[in-house]
Copies of this chain bind each other. A is one copy, B any other.
Amino acid sequence: MRIGIDIGGTSMTAALVDGASVSFKQRSATAGLRTEDALINTVFETVDRLFAESGISKSEISSMGIGVPGRTDIATGTAILAGNLPVRNTCFKKLLEDRYGIVTYLDNDANCAAWGEYSVGIGKGLDDMVMVTLGTGIGGGIIIDGKILHGQKNRAGELGHQVVDIHGKRCPCGRVGCWETVASTKAMASRVAQEVMAVPYGILADVVNENGGKIDGRTLFIALKRGDRVAMDLFDEYIEMLSVGILNILEAFRPQMLVIGGGVSKEGDVLLLPLRKLIGETPCRIETSALADEAGLIGAALLDLSQK
């Protein structure tokens, strides 16, 4: 039995992980945590709670793994920097090993998600797999020959920051026209907002109003299912932008499988069928995540297998 810990900018989870099966999942909020100490205490408290609720003893846990956003140093198990989280060279490996006496591994969240899908999810049994996680940004995790491609300073796989539109929009990373400026859920929501302004009494606007004026990753898909023409146009545009970056990944890596994760991946075939059509003939399977929200948590728990 292993423990997986998945830390994000709004919440974190810790759970017992046995293969692809997750139990006693404990969740805590991380949004609003201002200091490194507050974050560390939240992690400790959540893992303490996991032990208490499950009644499992430390000796039954073979290893722990932790996935964190942002820059990481996997050799020392350190979270270097992360946009929304108060980490600054926080050595979670040492902190957790000292507290629990269980060997602990750390990697970034996108690598953990890819590792989870590769180990026990949709990519099980393959050698080469690339996973892209569609969210506010676009993350990437690359598995080659059964190993996570870490690259220098564990910064490989920044697939959201490949420039696809040299005359496009500025990305927060500083470059112009990164894939995530056109294909992230945030980019999609921003296009929905524009079109709702332009067509204020259409179905898309209704969906937004019904959601209390909020636009999220599901808005477009709800309007699409109601047959909204504006949503159909936006969706076609989105799928095309998605396909451009995916085709670039295929040109570079030619993996056996490309897995799409993140909230949007729950749309399944609504997303996959038109996407596969645009991708065209290829020996690479295009799939959505099998482990969904738990890919990162499960992959983190199994990190010991990645560092052999």
Chain A positions near chain B (C-beta within 8 angstroms): 128, 140, 142, 144-145, 147, 149-153, 155-159, 161-168, 175, 177, 182, 241, 244, 247-249, 251-256, 282-284
Tell whether, in the assembled complex, residue B156 and residue A252 are in contact, meaning their CB atoms are under 8 Å apart: yes
**Minimum distance in angstroms from A130 CB to a CB of chain B:** 9
Q: Shortest 7 CB-CB distances between A and B: which pairs?
A: A151-B254, A158-B251, A156-B254, A162-B248, A152-B283, A152-B254, A155-B254
Query: In the complex the two chains form, what is the Cα distance from A175 to B244 in whole Å?
Result: 9
Contact of A151 with B248 in the complex, beta carbons under 8 Å: no
Knowing A147-B145, A151-B128, A153-B283, say if A163 contacts B252 (CB, 8 Å): no
Copies of this chain in its oligomeric complex: 2
- 10 A-B residue pairs with Cβ-Cβ distance under 8 Å, sorted by A, are A145-B147, A151-B255, A152-B255, A157-B252, A162-B248, A164-B177, A165-B165, A166-B182, A167-B167, A249-B252
When chains A and B are docked, how far (Å) is the Cα of A109 from the Cα of B25? Answer: 51
Contacts of A149 in B (CB 8 A): 144, 253
Partner of A251, one of B161, B255, B284: B161
A284 to chain B, nearest CB (A): 6
